[in-house]
Structure 1
């Protein structure tokens, strides 16, 4: 039995308007859904990215805050796939155009990554497999 593909990722944000604007610029697209979830009691904004994948922003009215830390138990980071290092380099230029701070491309034997953070400090990465 094959494990199913990842369908979506959702992150919790503190300022839905600021995060929606930021992610819309990053994805170069507006959300496909932006509504209050009636059964869950939260607001969610959803983007269609890549090949049928969804990326969601959630805002909870009773949110505890505290900020994001990849060192705490839970999410470490979300990585988006690039086909190769050349595509990663194009994304580095795009992040620069958008004024999004990043750590530059880091090469390792298992691939190359470009790390950055969203307005809430959530760790994001663009990742390309090793050449070859």
Structure 2
């Protein structure tokens, strides 16, 4: 299998580049690093101190299909990895201070999460990955998931020579 190192960047089509770039800076802590305006598109590239890169862009001819809806084919949501529940509570306070509507801390069985939306209604999450030792799978989960979980929860065995 070819190697993947992670996600390089995320490009989001938005209704207003400047408004979205300001939101990503003010709410999410990103820094604007590039601004491009061409005849058929406009974009603003932003980078977070964690290394996550997001570009917000508009295209000529983008349909005015209304706000983002995860029930359409395409992106469902973006989830950002948060270290622990304390940091998640910090996000609740931060979002409250900025007046950003959010779900509060919820857990739907995958780990503590906060759900909120950007100015174009794109669903975002701050998510705490559960420790594999604390995870349980059901019969509905794939055999591959069971194998991965077993590998993550069993101690590594040193090879004796």
TM-score normalised over the length of structure 1: 0.88
- Larger deviation, residues 89-98 vs 28-37: 28-37
Question: SS of the residue aligned with 2:45?
Answer: strand
1:10 positional shift: 1.1
The answer to whether the 8 A contact 1:84-1:130 is kept is no
Q: Does residue 12 in structure 1 map to residue 13 in structure 2? A: yes
- Please give the alpha-carbon distance, in whole angstroms, between the structure 1 residues aligned to 2:8 and 2:41: 20
Bigger radius of gyration: 2
Which 4+ stretches in 1 moved above 4 angstroms? none
What are the Cα deviations for residues 70-116 of structure 1, in whole angstroms up to 9, with x where unaligned? 01110000111101111111011100011100011112432111000
Q: Does residue 86 in structure 1 map to residue 55 in structure 2? A: no
Question: SS of the residue aligned with 2:74?
Answer: coil
Instruction: Give the aligned partner of residue 63 of structure 1.
Output: 62
RMSD (CA atoms): 1.7
- Larger deviation, residues 62-71 vs 117-126: 62-71
1:62 positional shift: 1.7
Which residues in structure 2 correspond to 1:1-132 (within 5 Å)? 1-36=2-37, 41-66=40-65, 67-130=67-130
TM-score normalised over the length of structure 2: 0.74
Question: SS of the residue aligned with 1:20?
Answer: helix
Pick 1 or 2: higher relative contact order, CA cutoff 8 A, min separation 6. Answer: 1
- Please give the alpha-carbon distance, in whole angstroms, between the structure 1 residues aligned to 2:30 and 2:87: 19
> How many residues were matched structurally?
130
Instruction: Give the aligned partner of residue 139 of structure 2.
Output: none
- Name the one with the larger strand percent: 1
